[in-house]
Amino acid sequence: MAKVMIIGSGGREHALGWKISQSPDVSEVLYSPGNAGTEEGKGRNIPLDAAKPENFDALTSQLRADPVDLVIVGPEAPLVSGIEARLKDIAPVFGPSSDAAALEADKFFSYRIMSELDIPQALSIICRNTEDAKLAIRTMNGLGAARNGLVMKARGLTGGKGVYVCDSVEEALDEVAIHGNKYGHEVLIAERLVGEEFSVFGISDGKRVIPLEFAVQDHKRLLDNDQGVNTGGMGAYGPTSIAKPQLIRRISEDILTPVISKMRYEGREYKGFIYAGIMLTEEGPKVLEFNVRFGDPECQPAMMLVKNDLYHLLSAAVDGTLHEQKIECNPGSATCVILASRGYPEQHQKGSSITGIAEAENIRGVKVFHSGTAIKDGQLVTSGGRILGVTAYSEHGIEISTHRAYQAASLIQITDGFRYRRDIARSELNRNEPF
């Protein structure tokens, strides 16, 4: 029987552990540090936040004292900080090297990789400072590439919040210094692509990629109808009917696989999840960004749609035997609605009591994944901005899964209140074309 460690504390990590726990070959799932929801079933929290580089030494000591058969790294920051190199001689690690994690951490690097591979992407200009950015904005306008607006993409890690979409050149010129003060003055100025956005996920063993043959749509904006500021994600659903399995296979073959091959050619070890944010434009699919881990909250509905034993899949990726695996998917759909603190994303209340989760999970197909939760004096309380991911699955499709998710959300109470979007999956519900 295998023991697995999951590094991270969010809804993504809870969802991964929930799925891993279903394997009959897994005896225990350790979370470092986990949250109030992860200590269920086979789960056990370790009082150590292994996602922080200053705790890497303590983590290696922990793993020598309490060995595991697989370490799964949930968030991007520890991957960028080199956790894979620190652990690989102690335990098998599912997560790319820090050199490969630059694919997410460094927008300049990913732009270079896509350019060299002729992968379709937005026309962009690399800028080292604010004056470069202002010149780039004017240049893009002169090229006619600003007709739909412009996008600023911060170079480093920003927790999913370093992208700013401008509707006009004037707005871009006004915003560039503000954006730089928040996220750093090295920025990619890109044309604004128009179309439908979706996320494609794959598992890589460093040589090949096996895609999940469904796409997920995230809802980044804070408010309904995609209004308000960008957040870490207010909900997600899948599959989206705009990306049929044949399109996903094409994206895997033409985009994900060449990128992994490029990483290998450059000596950048890549065993882990790879995620491409895609815009389906009139010219075809174009890449918005790459992530080197699973998305959050996309992971929550995705784990309900994956049929396989996830432990076997990820172990095969680490062992280099991924070619022997095939990802199978459950029929139907899954929907995740994020319940966030009222002040999110700028601030959040801590210590508010949470009730109603057991009642919510009594609804068929519903699982409530924890993110910003903790136990205080024996009571479940809030501890972060995104508190819960209320997720529902139905084999009968998106209408029922979405109805179940919102029905479950209505049963949860948080003393200081919470906010959530009421239009998750509405675009899919409004489409006439069945998946």
- Output the pLDDT for position 432: 55
- Output the pLDDT for position 25: 98
Per cent of the chain over pLDDT 70 is 99
Q: How far apart are the first and last CA of the chain?
A: 38
Q: What is the pLDDT of residues 196-243, one digit of tens each?
A: 999 999 999 999 999 999 999 999 999 999 999 889 999 999 999 999
* Average pLDDT along the chain: 95
Domain boundaries, the chain: 2-99, 123-191
Looking at domain 2-99, its CATH class is alpha beta
- Output the pLDDT for position 434: 46
Looking at domain 123-191, its CATH class is alpha beta
- Output the pLDDT for position 435: 42
Q: How far apart are CA 125 and CA 143, in angstroms?
A: 12
Which residue ranges in the chain fall short of pLDDT 70?
Answer: 432-435
- Output the pLDDT for position 339: 98
Q: What is the pLDDT of residues 257-277, one digit of tens each?
A: 999 999 999 999 999 999 999
